[in-house]
A = this chain, B = another copy of it.
Amino acid sequence: MLKSVTVDGRSPEDSRRASLGALLRRVHLAGAVSRARLAESMGLNRSTIMAMTAELAAAGLVREDLPELTGRAGRPSLLVRPASDRAYVLAFDIAVDRLVAARVALGGAVLERREAPRTRAGADLDTVVRVLAEFGRQLHRGASPGSVCVGVGASYCGMIRPGDGMVRFGPDMGWVDQAFGAELGRRLDLDLPVLVGNEAHLGALAEHQRGAGVGVRNLVYLHGDVGVGGGIIVGGELLGGDGGYGSEVGHMLVNPYDGRPCGCGSRGCLEAEVGERALLDAAGRPADRFGREAVREVVDAADRGEAAAREALRIIGDWLGIGVANVINLFNPGMVIFGGMLREVYLGSATQVRERIAANVLPVSRERAHLRISALGDDSTLVGAAELGFSRLFTDPLGTPVGSR
């Protein structure tokens, strides 16, 4: 009797669903992977893998074919690929300065995208949702007839309540308690929930799954938009905390004396000291200049030797270094990844960041932490939104009727 016991008390049916989902997710992330490799990485025998891939193939979610000849002896292990023409998600990215939507195939390829700049004037829920829903409909119509939309994910530049996609606090767009996920779902009318996540959380997951942090179990992702967001992976899982609002690196108080005012109402937060406005002000840029291009211009000017731009990056880099040193001491991560606007800022101030790490991080933690820029570039948050959209499929791969169309 004891032999059928599992520690967590799951039923065999739950267990089987979870195994199929885990296998499909591996195929989705790997692109093409041999049965032998799947067996090894999942700790299952080949015949079990074969039975599982057969079920997923019957459901229209994977295909199996022979690998190209390698010249090695022995029977080659079949390659399993995601059926990227059968299942897709809609992914949305609501950043401070732009709205992006994309149709993303199982396997992760971005099939088609729409993008619009978001002027700060048009930040109300109704306008944003109207634009996104129209993009969504266009993308949905453009899908090939045999394919099925299996989920919708969205990245938002603010604090999101898990479960229902409520924006609890989005200071950059002036949103408090706006039912964004529910409203977008209603307008899209696809009979699918819209799963919403914080942009830095999703950027972290994307870099962990498909970017600079693949295989790194503990990493800190810092995302620069107008402010600074954080997504922290602890033991392979996103740190959400009790309410899902954890990883808020941007509101770490770093300057307790004469800190700049922050969008949260406080002063001296990391994002107030290293955010877009702090950099542009320090470089003496006028108040009507803002956005990613304005930040890039300062970093370029510093490269060309402009004194004001260099000094601005020196100051901002020192504050950024304090924030990075603190998270390394707290999380002992294998990697810190700079994403969004912070890619440029970090590249322009790496010396200051490294000096702070040398001065303030305990040696035992310093020896592990690699510093990297986002490998997915401006798309890290969009990719994260797509992965969130796929998450339902991996929970119950056979519960989504892909094969029926």
Which A residues have a C-beta under 8 Å from some C-beta of B? Answer: 1-10, 12, 15-16, 18-19, 22, 42-44, 47-48, 51-52, 55, 159, 168-169, 217-218, 230, 232, 234-235, 237, 239-249, 251-257, 264, 266, 269, 322, 325-327, 329-334, 359-365, 367-369
Is the Cβ of B43 less than 8 Å from the Cβ of A9?
yes
Is the Cβ of A19 less than 8 Å from the Cβ of B43?
no
Is the Cβ of B2 less than 8 Å from the Cβ of A48?
yes
* Nearest CB of chain B from residue A231's CB, rounded to whole Å: 12
Having A9-B44, A159-B364, A239-B330, one finds 17 other A-B pairs with CB under 8 Å, namely: A2-B16, A3-B12, A7-B15, A7-B18, A7-B42, A169-B364, A217-B242, A240-B332, A241-B365, A243-B367, A243-B368, A248-B329, A251-B361, A253-B325, A253-B360, A266-B360, A326-B326
| A168 to B366 Cα, complex, angstroms | 13
* Nearest CB of chain B from residue A23's CB, rounded to whole Å: 9
Q: Which of B10, B234, B242 contacts A239 (CB 8 A)?
A: B234
Q: Which of B248, B256, B322, B330 contacts A246 (CB 8 A)?
A: B330
Is the Cβ of B19 less than 8 Å from the Cβ of A15?
no
| A51 to B359 Cα, complex, angstroms | 57
* Nearest CB of chain B from residue A62's CB, rounded to whole Å: 16
Is the Cβ of B237 less than 8 Å from the Cβ of A359?
no
The residue in chain B whose Cβ has the minimal distance to the Cβ of A359 is B266
Interface centre among A240, A255, A330 (most CB of B within 10 A): A330
| A333 to B248 Cα, complex, angstroms | 12
Is the Cβ of B249 less than 8 Å from the Cβ of A330?
yes
* Nearest CB of chain B from residue A214's CB, rounded to whole Å: 15
* Nearest CB of chain B from residue A70's CB, rounded to whole Å: 27
The residue in chain B whose Cβ has the minimal distance to the Cβ of A327 is B330
Is the Cβ of B2 less than 8 Å from the Cβ of A322?
no
Is the Cβ of B364 less than 8 Å from the Cβ of A243?
yes
Knowing A251-B362, A253-B322, say if A2 contacts B51 (CB, 8 Å). yes
Is the Cβ of A51 less than 8 Å from the Cβ of B1?
yes
Is the Cβ of A330 less than 8 Å from the Cβ of B169?
no
| A147 to B235 Cα, complex, angstroms | 37
Is the Cβ of B1 less than 8 Å from the Cβ of A48?
yes
Interface centre among A3, A44, A55, A364 (most CB of B within 10 A): A364
Q: Which of B217, B230, B245 contacts A365 (CB 8 A)?
A: B245
28 A-B pairs with CB atoms under 8 Å apart are: A2-B52, A5-B15, A6-B6, A6-B19, A7-B42, A8-B43, A9-B42, A159-B362, A159-B364, A218-B242, A234-B234, A240-B332, A241-B331, A241-B368, A242-B333, A242-B368, A243-B364, A243-B365, A243-B368, A245-B332, A246-B331, A248-B332, A251-B360, A253-B325, A253-B326, A256-B322, A264-B362, A269-B360
